[in-house]
Chains A and B, each alone.
Chain A
Amino acid sequence: EDQVTQSPEALRLQEGESSSLNCSYTVSGLRGLFWYRQDPGKGPEFLFTLYSAGEEKEKERLKATLTKKESFLHITAPKPEDSATYLCAVQVRGMDSNYQLIWGAGTKLIIKP
């Protein structure tokens, strides 16, 4: 069964303290991996798409990397405004041959000033 697991469930950091969020997956036929950010009471907002192992994408203090089994979202010198829940989704081929997204449960990141 296709699965996407995010860890940790929650992460509390001091402002400026760098860390990484993990998204591990066991799927057949990865087509792409997506990272989204979700603020409380709002819908997810797109951050990155990664398609192949070794690929990296950067945006401000965030950097996403991909291996054959997992993806990391590295946060460098985070600020309080980076506090949010970060969601990972993996695109796989469904039983009807259509592609679908399998979503992880998310990591809630809290940055304390």
Chain B
Amino acid sequence: NAGVTQTPKFRILKIGQSMTLQCTQDMNHNYMYWYRQDPGMGLKLIYYSVGAGITDKGEVPNGYNVSRSTTEDFPLRLELAAPSQTSVYFCASSYSVSFQVQETQYFGPGTRLLVL
């Protein structure tokens, strides 16, 4: 099993450009998450999904959009990139019975994004 895969590994964007960060998991997990990690800060939840067709906002959703058309894929869309979106982005997945029971999250290798 590949686990959680993310592409690209690294990307430089100009201010105002758009891009999609790809995330795929092959563990048949129902929950998927997008986090950003900034230096000296804890992981911040951007969006999460409890299953195909269902997504919800996390702590820092502004400037991002997501979709979940299949169990495996959970892309993150950045529209009109800003320097404040320079960060490392992690996708994660877990199998949970409900959001009240947080099971172990499995993380991808991350995408490093630089907005200039």
| Binary CB contact string for chain B from 18 to 51 against chain A (1 if under 8 A, 0 otherwise) | 0000000000000000000000111111000000
Among the stretches B70-78, B79-87, B105-113, the one at the interface with A is B105-113
Q: A4-B42, A100-B58 are in contact. Are A46 and B99 (CB under 8 A)?
A: no
User: Are B102 and A104 within 8 A (Cβ)?
Assistant: no
B66 contacts chain A at the CB level, 8 A cutoff: no
Provide the residues of chain B in CB contact with A32, threshold 8 Å. 102
User: Are A99 and B90 within 8 A (Cβ)?
Assistant: no
Our pick among B41, B100, B107 for the contact of A45 (Cβ within 8 Å) is B107
Q: A43-B107, A46-B104, A91-B102 are in contact. Are A105 and B4 (CB under 8 A)?
A: no
User: Which of A32, A46, A87, A104 neighbours the largest number of chain B CB atoms within 10 Å of its CB?
Assistant: A46
What is the minimal beta-carbon distance from B18 to any residue of chain A, in angstroms? 24
User: Are B42 and A102 within 8 A (Cβ)?
Assistant: yes
| Binary CB contact string for chain A from 1 to 16 against chain B (1 if under 8 A, 0 otherwise) | 0001000010000000
Q: Which of A51-85 contact B (CB under 8 A)?
A: none
Q: A98-B100, A99-B99, A103-B42 are in contact. Are A43 and B58 (CB under 8 A)?
A: no
Our pick among B41, B108, B109 for the contact of A105 (Cβ within 8 Å) is B41
Provide the residues of chain B in CB contact with A104, threshold 8 Å. 42
> In the bound complex, what is the Cα–Cα distance between A90 and B114 (angstroms)?
29
Provide the residues of chain A in CB contact with B42, threshold 8 Å. 4, 87, 89, 102-106
What is the minimal beta-carbon distance from A87 to any residue of chain B, in angstroms? 7
User: Are B4 and A43 within 8 A (Cβ)?
Assistant: yes
A22 contacts chain B at the CB level, 8 A cutoff: no
What is the minimal beta-carbon distance from A92 to any residue of chain B, in angstroms? 10
Chain A residue with the shortest CB-CB distance to B91: A43
Our pick among B44, B59, B102, B110 for the contact of A43 (Cβ within 8 Å) is B110
> In the bound complex, what is the Cα–Cα distance between A32 and B43 (angstroms)?
17
> In the bound complex, what is the Cα–Cα distance between A98 and B90 (angstroms)?
21
Q: Give 7 CB contacts A-B under 8 Å.
A: A41-B109, A43-B108, A99-B100, A99-B102, A100-B59, A102-B42, A105-B42
Binding site for B on A (CB under 8 A): 4, 9, 31-32, 34, 41-46, 49, 87, 89, 91, 98-106
